[in-house]
Structure 1
Amino acid sequence: MDTKLNRSDFMLFVIYYGISTLMTVYEYYNEENYLIEYFLDISAFIILDVGMIMVFMYWLLPNYIVNKKRYIHFTFWAIITMVLAGFLERVVGIYSGGGDWSKLHFNFQWMLNYISNTAESIGLPFGLLLAKKYYENQIMFSTIQQKQKENELKLLRSQISPHFLFNNLNTLDALIDSDTEKAKEYINRLSLIYRYLIQTKDSEVMELTQEMNLAENYIFLIKTRFGNDYDFTITKNVSLEDKFVPTGAIQTLLENVAKHNRAQHGKTIKAQLIIDKDWLTISNTKSMIKTNKDSLGTSLKNLEYRYQLLSDQKPVITDTLNNFSIKIPIIKLSDES
């Protein structure tokens, strides 16, 4: 906890002790106290109270509680400080009340009285200050957490495969010589993908309709690059309105299919993208190429982590001998009617 006092803390003191001063003045007026008692007693009351709080905030709390957890030392010095403050307040009271020093005592019982009077005097303002500090620190902690979350999401969104552009440029180079019309279409689809990535680079989630447009363009790139090695089908069982997924999530899933599977012996990799009410599922047949079964891959791990930051649900992965599927929760930002 930040124990340093700020401008609003001092404003709290001004308001509290302003009200306390008015109440004390009214009390002294009814008791017909001397004028010197107004000035000395009230001044001593405010100075000793604020001084005690400053001692706690700048010395006792940071040195014995916040940093070192030395509770016995804290209690000892707190008692000493409170006894001293109570004694000084008693001295000022006797002086302003006529100077009968026979009323000044310093034995065990009076030490308890000094502690009790000081605790009663600073209890409310100190409690208000600590409550205010706690609330401010909670707000600051929440703000820091939110900023960290936003930065983590942006970092994860930026981790697009470094081979993506390289592979597509190679494919485009081959198409220019063999099929110029298809090369033009390929360039158009690739530019749409990059335009989408640029426009959504700061977005944590995106409408499912927009993500599906990206998916269709990305599937075109895969099929153009690999020919008949992959067969993608899309099934939409529900309306896509008011449904969201993490930005670029579907691209990650499609990329995972192409990255970890290759058509072998003329056997096409079949992939299905199914959209239901609460889940989006991509499943595919598996090839026999060797992959690390203990690893989901960096992209899927990043997607899982993004869901931890965005939702209380997480992707569900099913990996069998012949098939692999991953279900990602659909995020709803508004209640359905």
Structure 2
Amino acid sequence: MNRKLNKSDVLLLAAFYSVSSGLAIYDYYKSDNALIEYLIDIPLDVLLSFGLVYIFTFWLIPKYIVTQKKYLYFVVFGLISLIIAGVTDYATGFWTGNNDWAKFPKGFRFLIITIDVGSDLVAFPLGILLTKKFYEGRTQLLTIEKQQKENELKLLRSQIDPHFLFNNLNTLDSLIDSDSEKAKEYINRLSLIYRYLIQTKDAEVMELEKEIQFAENYIFLIETRFGNDYEFTIEKNTSIQDKFIPTGSIQTLLENVVKHNKPKSNGSIKTSISIESEWLNIANQKSTTNFKSESLGTGLDNLKTRYQLLSDKKINIDDSEKEFRIAIPIISLSE
């Protein structure tokens, strides 16, 4: 469940409270209530109702029902929330109505009244909000599942991409005559890449350490093929043990650099990869030459979709005139 109110949630609740407040004002008018009841009772009802909705939707249900499965805790804390809201609402209404405090209910009867009042405050708005989020979640899940299937097919095709293989064979052919030792290294790196792609084709996430090893091999192919046109650096500013990212993430980001930036005539496209405690950052200089790719944005869109399923955090992108910077969250499965 999304633990934040989105724009449509706010609009839905605003519409509900507008209608309910209007009906309350009409009811107070028909009952000839005092002005103080309009000014205090109605706004207080809205605040208490919204507070209960927020507590149940974004704390009690996610924590004790969805995550921990502690139903007794949910019932206990839910009743406490209803009682607190009910006591506040009932006592305030009793006071603004200028009632005789000698007739104020006590004991078990008062407890039942406060639970009933709290239930009235939260029942309908909570019901419509949860119903909305349920259908939104189902729709999002179906969309993500469809996108995941498309991503899997795309990943399988990329593993046997004839252009990728053709380009690397051409590079290898030129190396055999000019630098046999480097040709052997190139074959070794290429085989490691294909072995990794085959071994990880069904994995949603992969150890960051293995992804970095893959990146080093992939960078070797790029720098060998394009010479000094591209320059990559990797900085490990924290331990990469027990940390994960979506499988193939770095490959997508490296391909993004090469596909969308033509090398400069007087220098290389410099790209830095830095690993922080919670983020993997990739920043590259942008080509001064206008260059468009048919696949512009597709790889990043697919990566964003995968993160929707795997993490609450989102990819951060900073696209300036001279530099493209992207930060992807590092996933810790122990959390």
TM class by shorter chain equals 0.5 to 0.7
Question: Which amino acid is the alignment partner of residue 158 of structure 1?
Answer: L
Establish whether residue 208 from structure 1 lines up as the match of residue 208 from structure 2. yes
- Which residue pairs with 1:15 in the alignment? none
Assess if the C-alpha contact under 8 Å between 2:260 and 2:293 holds in 1. Answer: no
- Which residue pairs with 1:57 in the alignment? none
Q: CA RMSD in A?
A: 2.6
Shift of 1:230: 1.4
Q: Go from structure 1 to structure 2 and tell me whether the alpha carbon gap of 1:179 and 1:296 turns closer, same or farther (over 3 Å shift).
A: same
Q: Counterparts in 2 of 1:245-264, with a 5 A limit?
A: 245-264=245-264
* Cα distance in structure 1, aligned partners of 2:310 and 2:332: 11
* Cα distance in structure 1, aligned partners of 2:328 and 2:180: 38
Shift of 1:313: 1.9
* Cα distance in structure 1, aligned partners of 2:311 and 2:157: 20
What secondary structure does 2:158 align onto? Answer: coil
Shift of 1:147: 7.0
- Deviations, residues 221-256 of structure 1 (Å, cap 9, x unaligned): 011011111111111111001110010100111111
Shift of 1:263: 2.2
Equivalent pairs, count: 195
- Which residue pairs with 2:325 in the alignment? 325
What secondary structure does 1:158 align onto? Answer: helix
* Cα distance in structure 2, aligned partners of 1:300 and 1:156: 13
* Cα distance in structure 2, aligned partners of 1:293 and 1:222: 18
Between Structure 1 and Structure 2, whose CA radius of gyration is higher?
Answer: 1
Assess if the C-alpha contact under 8 Å between 2:148 and 2:306 holds in 1. Answer: no
- Which residue pairs with 2:241 in the alignment? 241
Shift of 1:312: 1.9
* Cα distance in structure 1, aligned partners of 2:174 and 2:294: 36
- Which residue pairs with 1:276 in the alignment? 276
Assess if the C-alpha contact under 8 Å between 1:156 and 1:302 holds in 2. Answer: no
* Cα distance in structure 1, aligned partners of 2:191 and 2:237: 29
Q: Counterparts in 2 of 1:104-123, with a 5 A limit?
A: none
Q: Go from structure 1 to structure 2 and tell me whether the alpha carbon gap of 1:274 and 1:157 turns closer, same or farther (over 3 Å shift).
A: same
Question: Which amino acid is the alignment partner of residue 260 of structure 1?
Answer: H
Q: Go from structure 1 to structure 2 and tell me whether the alpha carbon gap of 1:269 and 1:288 turns closer, same or farther (over 3 Å shift).
A: same
Shift of 1:151: 3.6
Shift of 1:296: 4.3
Shift of 1:316: 1.2
Q: Go from structure 1 to structure 2 and tell me whether the alpha carbon gap of 1:300 and 1:177 turns closer, same or farther (over 3 Å shift).
A: same
Establish whether residue 187 from structure 1 lines up as the match of residue 187 from structure 2. yes
* Cα distance in structure 2, aligned partners of 1:293 and 1:176: 31
Shift of 1:158: 2.6
Shift of 1:271: 0.5
Q: Counterparts in 2 of 1:1-337, with a 5 A limit?
A: 151-152=149-150, 154-160=152-158, 162=161, 163-292=163-292, 296-335=296-335
Assess if the C-alpha contact under 8 Å between 2:193 and 2:218 holds in 1. Answer: yes
What secondary structure does 1:245 align onto? Answer: strand
- Which residue pairs with 1:108 in the alignment? none
Assess if the C-alpha contact under 8 Å between 1:156 and 1:306 holds in 2. Answer: no
Structure 1 outlier segments of 4+, above 4 Å = 144-150, 292-296
Extract unaligned runs of 5+ from structure 2: 1-134
Normalising to structure 1: TM-score of the pair?
A: 0.53
Normalising to structure 2: TM-score of the pair?
A: 0.53
Q: Go from structure 1 to structure 2 and tell me whether the alpha carbon gap of 1:215 and 1:164 turns closer, same or farther (over 3 Å shift).
A: same
Assess if the C-alpha contact under 8 Å between 1:149 and 1:309 holds in 2. Answer: no
- Deviations, residues 267-302 of structure 1 (Å, cap 9, x unaligned): 211110000011101001111222459984222221
Question: Which amino acid is the alignment partner of residue 222 of structure 2?
Answer: I
* Cα distance in structure 2, aligned partners of 1:191 and 1:176: 16
Question: Which amino acid is the alignment partner of residue 279 of structure 1?
Answer: W
Assess if the C-alpha contact under 8 Å between 2:147 and 2:302 holds in 1. Answer: no
